[in-house]
Structure 1
Amino acid sequence: MYKFIVLCVVLLLLLPTDAWCQSASKDSGETLTLQQAVEQALGHNRLIGIEKLEVGKASDRLSAIATRRLPGFDVSLLQLQWINPPEFRFQKGVFGSFPGLGPVPPVNTTISSSYGPSAFIFARATQPLTQLHRIGLGIRMSEVSREMAEGKVQLRSREVANQVKRSYYAILQLQSALTAAEDSLKLYKELDRVVGEYVAQQIALPSESLDIKTRLAKEDYETLRLRNNLAASKELLNHLMGRDIRTEFSVSQISTDTLYEIELSSALTRALAGRPEIKEAQLKLKLADFDQRLKRSEAIPEISLTLGYFSAAGVSVLPQNAAGVGFTLNWEPFDWGRRKHEISEKQKTIEQAREGVRETESSILREVSDSYRKLNEARALLRVNQLDQEAAREKFRVATSRYSQEVVLYKEVLQAQALLAESQYRYQQALLAFWTARADLEKAIGEI
């Protein structure tokens, strides 16, 4: 009877890993698919939101720079309370001499302003002319900066999507492992109770009871560790999705039969076309070129069409309303070679950016190739561990069968069970490694 009970308990440990996976969704809350998790993160992740705000800021800067092509207006007001009123001296005949009147003024004349307050108004409207070329270059640089900000949104989105996938796969593995550990813990508790009774009846040896208690304690610790890791992983996934980390959910199973198949050449081509890092490097080169052209444009004289207005209130000698139109010139004809060295510096920046494009492309190709090889290795390792698990399960079945026939000792059954548990653990780790390698290859290619 003792052997029959022990045999029934240990046979329950033969439940396959797939059965564990099917019973892994016991948590309260919603059942979250991988696609839903990625979409939730792309729409609500706070880091992505910050990058999107940067795009908005870049658009505002572009709109602000574009207004520099329009006329500029400047108005100044000077109000004075005279302490020493100004005096205006006019020499005799300064305004000319007229028949019948003689010289105007007929004598040297001094006119003093009153001690009352006076106000001077200066207004100017300026339309840039030669500066329009430089302003246009600045606008194009701002457009490139906005494209770079948009590229950072794409880059951040891919990084977050990869983190979500890795976290989701880790939860899937932990959820399955925890369910299996909890089931094993229940079985060990029952086995400990049964063996304890048989030890009291002197049917089983005390060493068998101590062995069971040791395994029970180890399984209890393993269950606690898995439960803590699962809680931490769920908090991380909730954080990545931009929601309350206390939100309860369970993950949906992913079929291990769906293997990611892609040719390396196709992966490399898609990476060169889709990775935002390459576009960012190309935009940096474009930005450096515009920056050099902007520096060269500083040699062009700044000529503006200007309309001016002046009014003096409280000083009767000065005009009350005066307006005029003309041109304003600002030019630095000689700079002691400063601009030449600045242009040379910009040229070196262009060369750096050009090398950066080639370096980025090479790094991405290496990353894709490395991720592709790791995925193939993970796929092969998964197959190895699957066969190893099947072999361990068969060995455990044989050991329990021989134990029931009193051919082997109970210790050998426990050893076979330990090997089975270890093979199941390695299979779960290999499965997680495969899913993680798949997510890394998708990220390397530029997929979300």
Structure 2
Amino acid sequence: MKYLFFTATVFCAVAFKSYAQEATPNGQTFNFTVQDCVNYAYEHQSAVVNSGLDIKSAEYKVKETTGIGLPQISGSASFQDYLKIPTTLLPGEFFGAPGTFVPVKFGVKYQSNLGVSLNQILFNGSYLVGLKASRTYRELSQRNYTRSKIEANVAVTKAYYQVLVSDEQIKLYDANITQLKQQVDQTVAQNKQGFVEKIDVDRITVQYNNLITNRENVVRSLALNYQMLKFQMGMPIDENLVLKDKLSDVSLDNNVAEMSVDTGFYHNRIEYSLQETQKKLNELDLQNKKTTYLPTLSANGSYAASYQNNNFSKLYSQVFPSSYIGLTLNVPIFSGGQRLNQVRQAKIEVQKSTNDLVNLKNTINLDAKVATVSYINGLQSLNNQKRNQELAQEVLRVSKVKYQQGVGSSIEVTQAQTSLEDADNKYIQGLYDALVSKVDLDKAYGRIK
């Protein structure tokens, strides 16, 4: 009965997995290749979406900076009701009373003013540099968007491969469970006929039980890996996702010699482009600091209409207009050395960004070398584990034959079975490591856009 229980458990796990992949609350199923998953992430992953919004924000920033150089027009309006008209003391000599002061009230009870003013920049070095900086800022946001897409691509691809590897691991477990179940049944039958001891049955049953448990653990991990993939894609984890690609569709090329031919590949890395943009921003900041030595010139004008009357109903019956146009020139003369030291600081930042660019180039080259070695090692390990897996299967087959012919022991079969399981696990780990190292290699050489 306990063998039937384990068989039923396996069947239920498989049925649950199939149901989870075929039924969703809204009845929609996404059949995606790895590229489909990546494209979905480009549109739905929050980091990528937010980077796209940053580009729009940068566009508005450019327009905002451009607007500084356009005419600045403002209007004003005021109204005053003098509850007490201001009093001024005038010398009495004006009124024939020398030596005294006569209080006199100037003004009217109601006053109102309407005006409009205009200011236009004619020359401002900081404004011209600011226009360049705003466009460079837009370029920076676009490259940040590209970096977000690359990071999403890498994360989704690795998660996709993790699902494929877990599914392959379950297939290996299924194959081992099938053959081990046959061996359990044969051993039980031989025990009933008195050909083998009870301890042989117990020993192989323990292996069978452990294999079932391990498979169930991988099934649960597979469900979690699906959720992780959907999370990396920005897809709700309760949506149904079926993977169309297979492990056989993934190309693991043994020849990576051509990757080291192009010595200028670091220009393909988005990190290098970002650092170049940062250097450009620092150079523009230096230019901005230098423009503070230059004069600024602006044109301005104003028109105002003044209304005064002691009778509120007649306040706007008569207008007293005034207007002017003019130029304002501001010439910097001495600032206590502030501008000079600001320029010196900006020069240092430019030099630092240059140093960072050189260091980043070396870092990228090293990263590519490490990724290449890791990929080659991963392929060799995978091929070795594949051969070990085949050898372990052959050792198990021979051990079974010897045991059935009475020239081998059950312990030898058990050990061979354990070695096969260990070889399968190492093969699965080697497979995943090789796939991940392939993604890292593509990223290191800037082939992921």
Considering the TM-score relative to the shorter chain, is it more than 0.5?
Answer: yes
* Number of aligned positions between the proteins: 406
Evaluate the alpha carbon distance shift between residue 25 and residue 358 of structure 1 in structure 2; reply closer, same or farther with a 3 A threshold.
Answer: farther
Evaluate the alpha carbon distance shift between residue 268 and residue 27 of structure 1 in structure 2; reply closer, same or farther with a 3 A threshold.
Answer: farther
2:221 is matched with 229
1:269 is matched with 264
8 Å Cα contact 2:72/2:119 also seen in 1:
yes
Shift of 1:189: 5.1
Aligned positions of 1:259-408 closer than 5 A: 259-260=252-253, 261-262=255-256, 263-266=258-261, 268-270=263-265, 272-314=266-308, 320-408=320-408
Tell me the alpha carbon deviations over residues 257-286 of structure 1, each in whole angstroms, 9 at most, x when there is no partner: 83234324236533x121111111111111
2:445 is matched with 445
1:94 is matched with none
Evaluate the alpha carbon distance shift between residue 26 and residue 118 of structure 1 in structure 2; reply closer, same or farther with a 3 A threshold.
Answer: closer
1:179 is matched with 171
Tell me the alpha carbon deviations over residues 77-112 of structure 1, each in whole angstroms, 9 at most, x when there is no partner: 222111333579999xxxxxxxxxxxxxxxx9x784
1:3 is matched with none
Alpha-carbon separation, structure 2, partners of 1:389 and 1:339: 72
Alpha-carbon separation, structure 2, partners of 1:401 and 1:201: 19
Shift of 1:199: 4.2
Alpha-carbon separation, structure 2, partners of 1:30 and 1:182: 26
Report whether the alignment pairs 1:130 with 2:129: no
Q: Secondary structure at the match of 1:299?
A: coil
8 Å Cα contact 1:74/1:124 also seen in 2:
yes
Q: Which amino acid aligns with 1:45?
A: Q
Q: Secondary structure at the match of 1:120?
A: strand
2:107 is matched with 113
Q: Which amino acid aligns with 1:360?
A: L
Alpha-carbon separation, structure 2, partners of 1:218 and 1:378: 29
Aligned positions of 1:1-20 closer than 5 A: none
1:15 is matched with none
1:73 is matched with 73
Tell me the alpha carbon deviations over residues 139-178 of structure 1, each in whole angstroms, 9 at most, x when there is no partner: 1111111111111111111111111111111111111112
Q: Which amino acid aligns with 1:135?
A: Y
The range that moved more, 278-287 or 185-194, is 185-194
Shift of 1:349: 0.8
What's the TM-score, normalizing by structure 1?
0.83
Report whether the alignment pairs 1:142 with 2:137: no
Q: Which amino acid aligns with 1:304?
A: S
Shift of 1:401: 2.2
1:245 is matched with 237
Tell me the alpha carbon deviations over residues 5-55 of structure 1, each in whole angstroms, 9 at most, x when there is no partner: xxxxxxxxxxxxxxxxxxx99954554322222222223222100111111
Q: Secondary structure at the match of 1:255?
A: helix
Shift of 1:289: 0.9
1:63 is matched with 63
Aligned counterpart for 2:151 among listed residues 127, 141, 159: 159
Q: Secondary structure at the match of 2:251?
A: coil
8 Å Cα contact 1:309/1:324 also seen in 2:
yes
8 Å Cα contact 1:75/1:123 also seen in 2:
yes
Moved over 6 A (4+): 87-91, 316-319
Q: Which amino acid aligns with 1:394?
A: E
8 Å Cα contact 1:392/1:423 also seen in 2:
yes
Evaluate the alpha carbon distance shift between residue 162 and residue 424 of structure 1 in structure 2; reply closer, same or farther with a 3 A threshold.
Answer: same
- Give identity over the alignment, percent: 19
Alpha-carbon separation, structure 1, partners of 2:89 and 2:119: 34
Tell me the alpha carbon deviations over residues 358-404 of structure 1, each in whole angstroms, 9 at most, x when there is no partner: 11111111111110111111111122112222222222222222223
Alpha-carbon separation, structure 2, partners of 1:268 and 1:254: 32
2:26 is matched with none
Q: Secondary structure at the match of 1:321?
A: strand
1:412 is matched with 412
2:95 is matched with none
Alpha-carbon separation, structure 2, partners of 1:198 and 1:226: 32
Q: Which amino acid aligns with 1:121?
A: L
Q: Secondary structure at the match of 1:60?
A: helix
Q: Which amino acid aligns with 2:424?
A: Q
Shift of 1:212: 2.2
